[in-house]
Structure 1
């Protein structure tokens, strides 16, 4: 806060009038700055008089005399008490302050012109309720559901009217507008519409075919311009004439009058946005358990309806992370209808759908829920030998998951196909009942041991504590406090869960209570603290599978144990206390099956454990020279391959390498011909484990190959053996591993070209 300096004599008076008196009484405040922009003093306007003292201003031990004509005065509405916190002239821009010129009269008094109506009309505010919902599409079992996102931070902003800013935009920027619109030479527009709510659901249908990259498909510059122009609103001859006038004042006036029409045009030039779109943040609110938000904001009563822009943050790994912030000119609710819902669909993969108004568990229940967002009930716990669809070589599905992941590209997953190992840095997420912690059940510990290597050959290993990424696990919360202005503010904090050494055991983690105010953390209730993640669905540990000193590719067993407050290991725990998600719908729990329990009896078990496959293998690939009658084509640097030898058409062979150390990868090989499109007979797709789509796999080299007659590749370009055409071969190999949220991209890609001639 900028403190109001105290001066003894206040005899510097300025009369403040309006050019057009407002219809309602407006409290006003004046700010006085020196020529260097340093705030000297602020005062409220009383009875149309603004009074300062500038005869002598002390600065340290000396007194300085200041010429009033060297000062800058700003007058603004004082309806918002936060205006007294400002300290710079830039901050006053948000209040649409009036900066008059100070003039000395014959009696050495200070006069200013009345506050212009073009500014004062923006100072009278009306109330408008901004409301809406934040949600995200989630996959449960065999279906999708649009679920609310709670405790997201919604930033409500208003785009200032161009009428206010237009005269402050530099002349050289205004001068560029006519040429940019009348003679556009822009690139493809950067703004991308926010993905629709069904985009992810429909993704699988859209990528059913092989991936093809047509490097020959091009457009001329006139074609590109014509296509782009067809999507823009038409500007009438009058607007074009005004833009072509060369008069900057006329151009400014034309922009203001046709502002709504010009938004799609302005989307093409991001560097213009800071000049034409001033965004003032009006409020920051959190979504409730239903994902809803609302806030009363105020706008100019005598102008247009407010233009509302919204962006969203979400707490990820203890940090408020921007998860929705689309381009302003293309995503503003122009002339927002007050009270109408603004519905935001998030697509960020780290946003969790764990909002619930009554989701607390029962008693001492421990719900082992997910690895990242992947349900533990969708991790195969037994041996199952199956081949991928359309291929003949089987692989063991034990320890793999059938879940999808962000960044899947052309990879398609279906329920119970189990093709994914885990890699990267998975997060083990759990829920704890409201009776925890207590003296009997107080700590948890995750341990691991390797059961088999990458070839599933058994290895001898003992349990070791699972090392947390970053060395410890903390649970974050927000709390409320009052700042120096006695205003409520929010701030983040966290409590360490572990690891701790307690009694005879180490690497123990505290089971957190339902609220930070409860033991053992006892955060003061007066600060209104709340966890970033509810204890019924929270991160319990994150570990790094790429740490070679801890993990190599293979099959591992993860074990969860419970301990009392003295650090003693608990055994013979009631089986019903261990919960896992239902296979058909992960939102619902069931008693953990025996396969996920250690030493289960009819009623008790010692711990929870599960098998999980770890694999961080890197894809390797290549595309080889076309073979003619079994020999690599002896083409020159021009890239042509002759398909006729001694007047006899040869057999052509296409080949590529697609390899993954443990076969947990899929490839997509596509061939396109000139600008004609794909060559379906030459395309291939499948897991790198076996031959696919007519291509034969050499299991020693990892090379796929297939032979063709020239007519099969040339198609409509064959011309009875006299034709020729250019081709592009594109190979993508993507790993199937997931960290439970993102696909672990250990990928390979390449595109090469060749041409056939007789």
Structure 2
């Protein structure tokens, strides 16, 4: 219902020619750009309801294309960008009429553009395989960016000259040696040569340079650009190179601040991560679109994708083409891919630590597959980097535990669960009251979506804990089948649905840094080691529910990924499912002193380590971790050439190794340092004097189940060898 305190602004438009009148909508904005109201223009007239407090205030009226039903109102800047007619007027309640006489040709021919896309999350699993899952129930903000030509027109002269120089460097153009002409015409300018340009990435939104006639035109502009001596000349030629500038804009960071971005619409992605919308644009120009994405996480909207303007804009977006956006920071939608054993109705399935599946202790205790959490709490995993596979890796940081449960939980006898941890003691768990355990109590919430018959959907948050319903604390609710109804819900709600399934949600979040902080000057006791984590189930009064055929069963995953099994006696204790997690948050260290000859490492005033025939050059370094949970790589380069005989073999060496192999003689660990003696000829080769660089990288193996954790420890030195008695010129 409209407020009684409102004014009706009447807009009357008379068209001064007989041209075709496009479909128009009248929009009103205040001086700050906030939308005040809108109404369609019918038979040259429109009426917009405005707040009465706007009496005497300036109002901006814009005539533009009509919006689709349910779509947000475009911003004033977006409407002006589309070519809408804008007029400022003062609203007077005693005379709320604005009369306009306009020619039809001032309105562009507006076209509809179908924008569609898909949100995904791509990641590498610990077993080395890659997955792509949809990101559902996120909202996509579709924005339009200033055309590059508009930015070039308003750039200050110093930035124009800077852009000219940077673009010529990017194109690697070289003029032949004759003087540039003052103001090159369309066919003038020096003859150019060009080396291969950097290819665009396969999924980059940046356009490719046009071919055939367009490419010839660009070549002429580029050729003339080299001869441009003034900012005015350079500006004219840069206007013709907009498509080339777009390709390299990701590197031209100083231009980003000159681009204006206007919101066009906001779209909700569906359960498959797909989104679509219709937008208007001037038919004479393809839209330049920019997307940023939010997802409802932990009860709040969280930005999960917002790239820079230079790197994330889809220039000249081809209407109807699919935009695929990868969201590493989003929560993916994942459906249970497995079957449960026959006869099991109520169950709880410890599923994974982040992306690392939990193996448990199956019958016969077979070894865990690569990439699964092992029975000893460690992990062998593929890093997806140059390090490749890492073995016997501990966990650290914040660990997110994932579990699944029966569709029929919560039930009349099951309502809560709890995760708790303790350091491995060898004493079996005695039950929920066992005082040796510390509950994991970080707060958690589940998001849900409500659809209405009279408005756009909204997103709400449902807290699942922690609660203390009875004798035990830090209990968390199993999520009910559907989001609960609240007394405050409008009567127009037609649907309530959870945003994510159990496999896309964190069941417990354990900050291991609190239980096992790294060694430091303030913490001299090594807290790393093996911990036990247990999972328990409780009824509505907070009493523990013991697993069994008459209550519920703990399940475990099989290696095939499509079936599950009943947990074994080795996996249960005191009515809980118990697994081990090896935690080590300690840091690595790298020490790389200068090489020495005869115990003397200091170089002379010229920076050279001078040698006699028969001397030995001593190279040593330290790559360390308190518990040997790290790897390292060491290398020496002479000039730009890697010395394979002095460089450790790829991909790495375990810090626990007693030697570090090279293609010839290995480095041997002595008193904690890897070391080796070289003859000067082994390092200098055919050179009498030579310059070197030595680098050491020490890498933690610890993971949080998503990725390998830093920080790592790099070390880099430079040294030079020169024969005594030979004059060396640095």
When normalised by structure 2's length, the TM-score is 0.74
Q: Any idea what the Cα deviations from partners look like across 1:627-680, whole Å, max 9, x if unmatched?
A: 224x13242354311231xxx321122111111111111111121111233444
Q: 2:129 aligns with which of 144, 148, 154?
A: 144
2:465 is aligned to 497
2:588 is aligned to 619
CA contact (8 A) 1:26 1:77 kept: yes
The SS at the match of 1:611 is: strand
1:48 is aligned to 2:31:
no
Q: What pairs with 1:541-552 in structure 2 (closer than 5 Å)?
A: 541-548=508-515, 552=527
1:425 is aligned to 398
CA contact (8 A) 2:396 2:585 kept: yes
2:358 is aligned to 376
2:94 is aligned to none
Superposition deviation, residue 227 in structure 1: 6.8
1:412 is aligned to 388
Q: Assess, with a 3 A threshold, how the Cα gap between structure 1 residues 173 and 259 changes in structure 2: closer, same or farther.
A: same
Q: Any idea what the Cα deviations from partners look like across 1:11-62, whole Å, max 9, x if unmatched?
A: x87644266733x64134264867x9899997764533578999xx9879xx
1:640 is aligned to 608
Q: Assess, with a 3 A threshold, how the Cα gap between structure 1 residues 302 and 428 changes in structure 2: closer, same or farther.
A: closer
Superposition deviation, residue 522 in structure 1: 11
Give the gaps of 5 or more residues in structure 2.
91-96, 172-192, 200-207, 210-214, 368-373, 518-525, 724-730
Q: Any idea what the Cα deviations from partners look like across 1:339-384, whole Å, max 9, x if unmatched?
A: 44333444x2664462469989962111100112111118999999
Q: What pairs with 1:453-532 in structure 2 (closer than 5 Å)?
A: 463-468=435-440, 470=442, 472-480=443-451, 487-502=455-470, 504-517=471-484, 526=493, 528-532=495-499
Q: Assess, with a 3 A threshold, how the Cα gap between structure 1 residues 458 and 724 changes in structure 2: closer, same or farther.
A: farther
Give the gaps of 5 or more residues in structure 1.
104-108, 190-224, 386-395, 600-605
CA distance in 2, matches of 1:41, 1:506: 52
The SS at the match of 2:376 is: coil
Q: Any idea what the Cα deviations from partners look like across 1:534-591, whole Å, max 9, x if unmatched?
A: 1355322111111158993111111112222232223352498222222x34464333
Q: What pairs with 1:57-96 in structure 2 (closer than 5 Å)?
A: 73-80=61-68, 89-90=76-77, 92-93=79-80, 96=83
Q: 2:23 aligns with which of 23, 26, 33?
A: 26
CA contact (8 A) 2:122 2:326 kept: yes
The SS at the match of 2:155 is: helix
1:260 is aligned to 2:243:
yes
CA contact (8 A) 1:160 1:280 kept: no
The SS at the match of 1:426 is: strand
Q: 1:695 aligns with which of 667, 672, 694?
A: 667
1:577 is aligned to 2:553:
yes
1:125 is aligned to 111
1:735 is aligned to 2:700:
yes
When normalised by structure 1's length, the TM-score is 0.72
CA contact (8 A) 1:477 1:492 kept: yes
CA distance in 2, matches of 1:562, 1:520: 29
The SS at the match of 1:649 is: coil
CA contact (8 A) 1:152 1:312 kept: no
The SS at the match of 1:547 is: helix
1:173 is aligned to 155
Q: Any idea what the Cα deviations from partners look like across 1:236-270, whole Å, max 9, x if unmatched?
A: 3356658949796x988866665434422444423
Q: Assess, with a 3 A threshold, how the Cα gap between structure 1 residues 538 and 40 changes in structure 2: closer, same or farther.
A: closer
CA distance in 2, matches of 1:672, 1:274: 41
CA contact (8 A) 1:131 1:342 kept: yes
Superposition deviation, residue 410 in structure 1: 4.3
Q: What pairs with 1:380-399 in structure 2 (closer than 5 Å)?
A: 398-399=376-377
Instruction: State the number of aligned residues.
Output: 653
The SS at the match of 2:381 is: coil
CA distance in 2, matches of 1:741, 1:175: 48
Q: Assess, with a 3 A threshold, how the Cα gap between structure 1 residues 745 and 181 changes in structure 2: closer, same or farther.
A: closer
CA distance in 1, matches of 2:141, 2:73: 21
2:379 is aligned to 401
**Residue range with higher mean Cα deviation, 586-595 or 608-617:** 586-595
Superposition deviation, residue 710 in structure 1: 1.5
The SS at the match of 1:658 is: strand
CA contact (8 A) 1:450 1:459 kept: no
1:343 is aligned to 2:341:
no
CA distance in 1, matches of 2:36, 2:295: 40
Q: 1:286 aligns with which of 243, 257, 269?
A: 269
